[in-house]
Amino acid sequence: MSRTMSGKPQLPKRSNFPPAAEFVIKEFDVPLVQFPDGGWFNWFGGTPQPYNASSLRVDNNWSTSFEEWVEIVAASMAVEPGSDEA
């Protein structure tokens, strides 16, 4: 993942991930990625954090395209109106 000059995270690119990475959305707004080695990461807010996948169930997540997944990441990075960073 790259950062801007201000140190804020930028959106990931498909080329940042191995070809076999799986992009998953949990409960409509949590962007997860599973790496081929079985490691899971939550990208909410644009900064990857290790994720314990034991809370995933058949009915609360789905695989998606990178393009849809990165839109969810982008939405999670949006600055709320009225915040100090706006």
Mean pLDDT computed over every residue of the chain = 87
Q: What is the pLDDT of residues 13-48, one digit of tens each?
A: 999 999 999 999 999 999 999 999 999 999 999 999
**Whether the Cβ atoms of residue 29 and residue 72 lie closer than 8 Å to each other:** yes
Instruction: Tell me which of 7 and 82 has the higher pLDDT.
Output: 7
How does residue 6 score in pLDDT terms, banded at 50, 70 and 90? low
pLDDT for residue 1 = 47
Angle ∠(44,36,51) on CA atoms, nearest 5: 30
pLDDT for residue 51 = 98
> What's the pTM value of the predicted model, to 2 decimals?
0.81
Q: Which residues of 17-39 are buried (b: 16+ CB within 10 A; e: fewer)?
A: beeebebbbbeeebbbbbeeeee
